[in-house]
Structure 1
């Protein structure tokens, strides 16, 4: 609503005639011309009419109530807090309320921020298709650099979780490669590079993962939130673990966990206990009891939350513990529980299938194992997780060797080598 309509509506709501509004300083004609949109009142006239109407000059001029921006920003912070507390449903509801009020008063900056929080909440709920649409809608707006970078991070994470690793990396790389943009804030650069580390790691592209980890650690050295620093340390730990640098990897993982415990972010601390368990299982020799301890801590922290994807990861890691302890029956049970919790089209689903195939193979149920491992290989391949696809083919090759079918074994091993061919990736 423009000033003309607002002045007229407020006058009528106050029960004032044009004469009563104008007296004693202005004429009825002056008020009529303003209400007709033919005159713009001076600042002095605006202040006079606002007093007559019992509103602030700012509200009369803009239609925005006093303090509404502060109120909405506060409510948006509450929505962000709910997201950190693993309550994405409440976060999305609050963000939606802020979005509606911001739209009512045409507060574009707050609308953009609320849309971003709502998209992040959708992603945390596992509603990836809706989240991707929401992030892309946010990126179509005119955004400050910070919000644009955070939307890119959210979009890339959503594509990564959905399994499209190639496009996830392209989203970030394209943003970082924009020539029209100046230097990024170090904390945003660390966030973007950390996402790239996780994507490259899933793809098995360890050279790029290591390079991105170095960039992220350099950017976050003296700046950034505790949460960002923790996440960066964890991604660096995964790269170090892949290089068999176990002492350095565990040190980075411990730093990350301590930072998240300082923040008291239960879901993030649980993820880092999961991460520590992963590193314990990758160590030589595997540290099974320590891994169990961290998985117990992670599950306790997630009790009462809706983090099904995180629980699927815990079940998968418990299955790996069981396999290493030579208990394939138990590993198979954990794999089935993980599949029940995991998104049907995400990477965690493929990982649980891989665990199930290995457990079936250990139980000498070869035909079932072959079928499950082929399904896992197909899913990893479709999602660009080349290293994990190759692992499936290696397991299949070993099954064929045990069956005495050397030709099929060679075919499986060749398929594994083809999966690792860097020319298969667009990025």
Structure 2
């Protein structure tokens, strides 16, 4: 019955001509005429119309024809056998799992392999899921140009071919990709096309998340007044939606904006509220991720509390070791632990943590690689290991050469310049300072 519901759901009826062609092919393989297949329940003219794609068979007729043709309903609807369908769905689950666990290169390869499967021709919804997954994995790999092309292709699909929720999800990912690529005009436009119309759609969790992407784009382009105003609007909208996730999304987005604008105590207060709500209502993976990100805000906002923050991260790290949560969470936790130990004046301990980060760095998103190698360079400089520090900063420069000129890139170049200055590489330091200025148009 689920299979039939999918066939008659929005966007799938467009394949009715393929269904008719498959019925025709199997009928001929079985040596039946149209009249023989139809008798006694149907008319041969009705079968002819189905085979030509001019009539959509009802669920009951599809089941009847599958039985009379001695073939699976799955094959008539999708063009694949039940066994093939199970293999496709299993492959899709493995690709999703790889993406969720931070194994982004593997996820990208799995989704691409799925899309090369000709069996997806008659599975528009599955193909769309795979295309969306490939776009997310491509984005996570740092290939923003390819991710934007994939997402923009999905966004331009006819509305009848995609559920409204998927349209919103695609817009979220596309806005984020444009923002990270430095195209803030498009990042704002994609989100405002949905949220900024004369008649705004009814708020939902998906639209709240799209709102957080828009908020981030406002903040990135330096439109902090608009970001602050929209953040308040987003919090009010989240209250109307009334779900824990909507509230957490809005609180967390506003916390990031507060931190960006120097309102550090407010940022911690907002993050505290988000964490408290999510700890009662969220899943273990999400709670772990939020606690790790919360630690990042604490380290920035309240350096005097770094010891307590370090202890919290040690507890989170212990919990992560006993779980199947992916490498991305573990890498971020180790990264913040290294930062905390460095702030506490324990560079040797920081080195242990940053080494574990570097051991996990392969195939991670470019943003995480950049931050990890910057911290590694800073740690080695603190330990007077200038040669190793220089090597890490060379890797940082190579990564930033490929990055768009955003405010975040400017911050990374500035951090690299400061470390290079400490290890007595003045020429490279000056170059890094100049690149930081260039990223903000100076």
CA RMSD of aligned residues (A): 5.3
Q: 1:192 aligns with which of 207, 210, 214?
A: 210
Q: Which residue of 1 aligns with 2:172?
A: 153
1:333 is matched with which residue: 352, 359, 369?
352
Match of residue 323, structure 1, among 339, 342, 345: 342
Alpha-carbon displacement from aligned partner over 1:311-358 (angstroms, at most 9, x marks no partner): 222222111111111112222333333233234661222212221222
Instruction: String of CA shifts for 1:251-308, please: whole Å, max 9, x gaps.
Output: 2112222333334422221121112211221234431232123323433443343632
Distance in 1 (CA, whole Å) between partners of 2:139 and 2:249 is 18
Q: Does 1:349 align with 2:366?
A: no
Instruction: For residue 238 of structure 1, report the CA deviation from its aligned partner.
Output: 2.5
Given that 1:357 and 1:368 are in contact with CA atoms closer than 8 Å, whether structure 2 keeps it comes out as yes
| Distance (whole Å) between structure 2 residues aligned to residue 282 and residue 26 of structure 1 | 73
Structure 1 residue runs without a partner (length 5+): 66-70
Q: Given the alignment of the two structures, is residue 183 of structure 1 paired with residue 200 of structure 2, yes or no?
A: yes
Residue 149 of structure 1: how far off its partner (Å): 2.5
Q: Residue 282 and residue 202 in structure 1: after superposition, are their counterparts in 2 closer, same or farther (change >3 A)? A: same
- SS state of the match for residue 357, structure 1? helix
Deviation at 1:198, TM superposition (A): 4.5
- Give the 3 Å change call, closer, same or farther, for CA 210–54 of structure 1 in structure 2: same
Q: Is the alpha carbon distance of 1:127 and 1:307 closer, same or farther for their aligned partners in structure 2, counting shifts above 3 Å?
A: farther
- Residues 122 and 146 (structure 1), Cα distance of their counterparts in 2 relative to 1, 3 Å cut: same
Look up the SS of the partner of 1:239 in the other structure. Answer: helix
Say whether the 8 Å CA contact 1:373–1:392 is kept in structure 2: yes
Residue pairs, 1:180-259, within 5 angstroms: 183-186=200-203, 187-198=205-216, 210=228, 213-223=231-241, 225-259=243-277
Deviations 1:194-227 (A, max 9, x none): 2244566678876665455445434423227533
Q: Does residue 138 of the first structure (1) align with residue 158 of the second (2)?
A: no
After alignment, is 197-206 or 89-98 more displaced? 89-98
Unaligned runs of 5+ in 2: 1-16, 79-84
- Closer/same/farther in 2, CA of residues 84 and 295 from structure 1, 3 Å limit: farther
8 A Cα contact 1:153 1:172, kept in partner:
no
Alignment partner of 1:283 is 2:301: yes
> Which residue is equivalent to 1:415?
434
1:83: Cα distance to partner? 8.4
**Mapped contact 1:234–1:252 kept (Cα < 8 A):** yes
- Flag the 1:215–1:91 CA change in 2: closer, same or farther, 3 A: farther
Max Rg structure = 1
Q: How does the TM-score come out when normalised to structure 2?
A: 0.66
Q: Does 1:166 align with 2:182?
A: yes
SS for the counterpart of 2:304 is: coil
Q: In 2 relative to 1, CA 135–301 (structure 1 residues): closer, same or farther, beyond 3 Å?
A: farther
Report 1:86-105 matches (<5 A).
86=101, 103=120, 105=122
Partners in 2 of 1:213 and 1:146 — Cα distance? Answer: 22
Q: d(CA) in 1 for partners of 2:114 and 2:215?
A: 35
Residue 274 (structure 1) aligns with: 292
Deviations 1:104-147 (A, max 9, x none): 65x645643554356446767x5867866653443343234432
Maintained 8 Å contact 1:280/1:291: yes
CA distance, structure 1, for counterparts of residue 228 and residue 32 of structure 2: 71
In 2, Cα distance between the equivalents of 1:26 and 1:377?
71
Matched-pair contact (CA < 8 Å) for 2:95–2:110: no
Who is 1:313 aligned against?
332
CA distance in 2, matches of 1:20, 1:289: 81
Distance 1:418 1:32 in 2: 71
> What is aligned with 2:128?
112
Compared CA separation, residues 420 and 399, structure 1 to 2 (3 A)? farther
Query: Structure 1 stretch 109-118 or stretch 243-252: which is displaced more?
Result: 109-118
Tell me the residue number matched to 1:68. none
**Whole-Å Cα distance in 2 between the matches of residues 412 and 252 of structure 1?**
38
Aligned to 2:411: 387
- Equivalent residue for 1:361? 381
Q: 1:263 to 1:98 in 2, by over 3 A?
A: farther
CA distance in 2, matches of 1:356, 1:86: 23
* Contact 1:92/1:122, CA 8 A, preserved across alignment: no
| Maintained 8 Å contact 1:387/1:419 | no
The 8 Å contact of residues 102 and 364 in structure 2, kept in 1 or not, is answered as no
Distance 1:78 1:198, change over 3 A: same
Shift in Å at residue 33 of structure 1?
6.5
